[in-house]
Amino acid sequence: GAVVSQHPSWVICKSGTSVKIECRSLDFQATTMFWYRQFPKQSLMLMATSNEGSKATYEQGVEKDKFLINHASLTLSTLTVTSAHPEDSSFYICSARDDRDGRRSPLHFGNGTRLTVT
Amino acid sequence: AQKITQTQPGMFVQEKEAVTLDCTYDTSDPSYGLFWYKQPSSGEMIFLIYQGSYDQQNATEGRYSLNFQKARKSANLVISASQLGDSAMYFCAMRETPYGGATNKLIFGTGTLLAVQP
């Protein structure tokens, strides 16, 4: 089946530094990828839609300068948390849509990245 | 705007019994898809079952079935013969697919934590 690789699986960084999270579709092309954020015991909140070759579309309330998204190729999207602060600590999870899939097909999710900002 | 509601924060079920997890939704679009995902404590999102708004029959996938009541805008997940490994967080999600448009983002409910007891 379709595999989405997300790296790193966990990261600890100091306040004020930036962290980059990668999301790769291993065996399919994905023009569109999605980035979600999940706080403990809460739902997945969509942060932004990443489109290859164009600017990401951010959800209301998400700071685009804080969460930089780059969809460099049909198999790679990156999320950079800039100048991270403790309140950015969360579980970040990406998902990708196989370009060949129809509307009935599910999104394919990465295993998530647990970010802790100290 | 679309909205997904899961009113059961937590549920208990005895092993080998069936359990129903509730999900209601709200959308103004006639074309949409409903998904159920399972999230174990490890964090990965596992796709379980899909129901399209125009599907005539309720979806089934092994021990999972979806009780789709379109007029009531509900899409409850039924797990039969519960197993200890079914203990996890379960999320209902919806994707609007406007006619002629690209597949839209997936919006999640708040989830239900299921605990299967031996």
pLDDT of residue B83: 97
CA B30 to chain CA centroid, Å, is 19
pLDDT of residue B100: 46
Q: What is the pLDDT of residues A46-105, one digit of tens each?
A: 999 999 988 999 999 999 999 999 998 999 999 999 999 999 999 999 999 888 887 778
CB contact set of A63 (below 8 Å; sequence gap of 6+): none
pLDDT of residue A103: 74
| Closest C-alpha among B93, B62, B79 to residue B11 | B79
- Find the residue in B nearest to A100 (Cα): B103
Facing residue for B43 by CB, picked from A49, A95, A111: A111
pLDDT of residue B84: 97
CB pair distance less than 8 Å for B95 and A114: no
Q: Given CB atoms, is A118 within the 8 Å cutoff of chain B?
A: no
Distance from CA of B109 to the nearest CA of A (A): 6
CA distance A107 to B86: 21
CB pair distance less than 8 Å for B50 and A104: yes
Distance from CA of A13 to the nearest CA of B (A): 20
For chain B, residues with pLDDT lower than 50 are: 100
pLDDT of residue B5: 96
CB pair distance less than 8 Å for A91 and B108: no
Enter the tokens of residue A70: 């780059």
- Find the residue in A nearest to B45 (Cα): A109
CA distance B83 to A2: 26
Secondary structure of residue A24 in the 3-state scheme: strand
Q: Which residue has the tokens 């005539």?
A: B56
Give B-chain residues touching A107 at CB under 8 angstroms.
Answer: 47, 106
Mean pLDDT of A31-44: 92
CB pair distance less than 8 Å for A103 and B33: yes
Calculate the CA dihedral of residues A32, B1, B40, B52 and round it to 10 degrees: -80
